[in-house]
Amino acid sequence: MSILVIGSVAFDTISTPFGAADDVLGGSACYFSTSASFFTDVNLVAVVGDDFPQQHIDFLSSRGIGLEGLQRAEGQTFRWKGRYEYDLNEAHTLDTQLNVFEQFKPVLPESYRQAEYVFLANIDPELQLEVLEQVKNPKLVACDTMNFWISGKRDALIRTLARVDTLVINEAEVRQLANEPNLVKAASIVRGFGPKTLVVKRGEYGVLMFGAHSIFSAPAYPLEEVFDPTGAGDTFAGGFVGYLASTRNLEESNLRKAIVFGTVMASFTVERFSLDRLRNLEYQEIEDRYRRIKLLTDFGQLD
């Protein structure tokens, strides 16, 4: 089952304690769709400028990602500049240039309007809503956002969240959105905005999922070397929604498996800059890490 994603396609300039990269391929929709493409078909809706090179288009096509909804406009592609200190869980945004996204009007190709699985990746919540309004009868609408939009476009974001089933955001952003420091209380406030399921990304501490009946915790995959955390969250979401769409099962037990597939996908992205680690990833490596996480958290039954 194919997924529809709207989000950013970007040039990222990043510095971490271990190196730096200038104007590399990034953006929430790129990380998401590349990750999800290991599980199912993905159609991408976004805009790039006339500076966007063919080699990046070729890469996305090589992953089988549908690009009929990728517009090319006059002007510059979205740009994000970020820095990480030794605490790699926190990205410091140095600059955000919306560029061609400022004038972007998403118009979905007719075939995309039947999408059953929709992911509103991190982008202006007004654009997220415009896309949602064109989709006929989705089974699952999942969404991501960040501090930039929570503080800059809060009202639009609250309107979007009213129509979202599953929200996938960072721990600090849950607290900011709820205006509540206690995470458990904050989770129930945010679930009150609309999403029945809240997935909280906690960087190297893993993920917490707050559902209607239970809370689920998954650790991050233990890595000795984390090189660049950019895109970890979007790659996580790609594995999560990708697995759900490929299995067509939204029961809670399957959501838990999807969380672990998301965790595994993110563990690969952070090993290199940009999407580089995903370029030569094999599906077998994904399953191997899935099994290792299972062992990591298996402490047996009570006698």
Distance CA 13, CA 26 (A): 9
**Residue among 255 and 265 whose Cβ is closer to ligand AMP:** 265
290 part of the interface to ligand AMP, by CB under 6 A: no
Q: Is 141 helix (H, G, I), strand (E, B) or coil?
A: strand
# binding residues, ligand AMP (CB under 6 A)? 18
Alpha helices in the chain, H assignment, sequence order = 28-36, 54-62, 125-134, 147-152, 154-161, 171-178, 183-192, 232-247, 252-269, 276-279, 283-296
Distance CA 229, CA 92 (A): 12
Draw the binding track, 213-252, toward ligand AMP (x: CB under 6 A; -: no contact). Answer: -----------------xxxxx------------------
123 part of the interface to ligand AMP, by CB under 6 A: yes
Give me the count of residues in the chain: 303
**Residue among 61 and 93 whose Cβ is closer to ligand AMP:** 93
| Number of Cα atoms under 13 Å in the Cβ half of residue 37 | 24
- Contact stretch for ligand AMP (CB under 6 A) within 26-34, 212-220, 242-250, 254-262: 26-34
Distance CA 293, CA 303 (A): 23
Cα separation of the two ends of the chain? 42
Distance CA 197, CA 175 (A): 16
Smallest gap from residue 267 Cβ to ligand AMP (A): 13
Contact 35, 74 (CB under 8 A): no
User: What tokens appear for 230 in the block?
Assistant: 């950019």
Contact with ligand AMP (CB under 6 A): which of 122, 128, 197, 263? 122
Q: Which residue is nearest to ligand AMP (CB)?
A: 26
Contact with ligand AMP (CB under 6 A): which of 15, 96, 134, 176? 96
Draw the binding track, 29-48, toward ligand AMP (x: CB under 6 A; -: no contact). Answer: --x-----------------
Draw the binding track, 141-180, toward ligand AMP (x: CB under 6 A; -: no contact). Answer: -----x-x--------------------------------
**Residue among 63 and 139 whose Cβ is closer to ligand AMP:** 63
Edge-to-edge strands, sheet with 215-218: 66-72, 42-48, 3-6, 117-120, 140-143, 166-170, 197-201, 207-210, 215-218
80 part of the interface to ligand AMP, by CB under 6 A: yes
**Residue among 116 and 148 whose Cβ is closer to ligand AMP:** 148
Which residues contact ligand AMP (rule: CB under 6 A)? 8, 10, 12, 26-28, 31, 80, 96, 122-123, 146, 148, 230-234
